[in-house]
Amino acid sequence: MLEPGYYETLCMNTESPSPSLLPVKTVLFLICLLPFARLLWSAYTNDFGDEPTEFVQRWTGIWTFNLLLLTLCISPLRAFTQLHWLLRLRRMLGLFTFFYASLHFLSFVGFDHAFVANDIVKDIAKRPYVTVGFAAFLLLIPLAATSNQWAIRKLGGRKWQELHRNIYLISILAALHYFWLSKFSALLWPLTYSVVLGLLLYWRVQERRRKAIPVQKSQMAKPIKFFKQRPD
C-alpha cells in the first residue's frame, strides 16, 4: 500500500544519494512485528484478561490505525526533511497495515462468528460500525495487492495513483469505525487519532493545491514594429 506521490519519486533523480536502507528496513520490520509478538506472548501466557476476544480485536485494530497513520506521515516527513528515501519505507508500513487489518478481520469472523458466513453477513449488514470497518478492509485489499513494481508497470502511473488515493477514504472510514464502536467515556483516543488524521489530510489537500497552481508564464515581449520614416 503506497500513497500517491510514490510513483513520481521513483522516477525522480535526487541530488543526494539514498543511503543503504537494509539496516533501516530490518529495524523497521522488527519494530512492526512487536505488536504481533506481544499478541503471541499473551496467547502463550494466557494474558488476554477477562475478555480475550475484545483484547485481540482492540489490539489489532489499534495497530492497524497506528500503522495507517505512520504510512500517511511519510509524505509530510519527506517534504519537510527532503529525505526522499523515506518513501522507500512506506511500502513496508502499508503492508504491515494490511497485515494487522487482516488479523483484526479474522478475529471478528473467527471469535465472534466462528467463520459462519451467514452470521458474518448479517452482522455486517446490521451494525453500521461493522459495515464501515468492513468497507475499509475491502478497499485495503487492492492497495496491498498492487504495492509492488510489477503492478505499477502493469497499471501505469496514472491508474496506479488513482487506485492508491483510496488510502484517504480508508483512513476516514477507519476513524469513523473507531469512533462508532467506542463508548462515550472512552472517546479521548478516537478524538486524538481523528485530530492527527485531520492534520495529515489538511496537509495533503494544501499540497495538492500548491502543485495545482499553474506556473505563470512570463509575459512575452511585444514584437518591435519598424516603420519606415516618412521623409520630411
Q: What is the pLDDT along the chain (232 residues), one digit of tens a residue?
A: 655 555 444 444 333 445 588 999 999 999 999 999 999 999 999 888 889 999 999 999 999 999 999 999 999 999 999 999 999 999 999 999 999 999 999 999 999 999 999 999 999 999 999 999 999 999 999 999 999 999 999 998 899 999 999 999 999 999 999 999 888 778 899 999 999 999 999 999 998 888 877 655 544 445 555 445 555 4
At 215 the pLDDT is: 54
Q: Is residue 176 part of a domain?
A: yes
Q: Is residue 224 part of a domain?
A: no
Q: Is residue 191 part of a domain?
A: yes
Which burial class, exposed, middle or buried, applies to 102 when counting CB atoms under 10 A from its CB (0-12, 13-18, 19+)? middle
- Kindly report the pTM of this predicted structure: 0.84
Q: Is residue 188 part of a domain?
A: yes
Q: Which domain holds residue 50?
A: 21-208
Cell numbers linked to 139: 478497499
At 93 the pLDDT is: 97
3-state secondary structure of 206: helix
Cell numbers linked to 95: 503492508
Q: Is residue 16 part of a domain?
A: no
Domain tally for the chain? Answer: 1
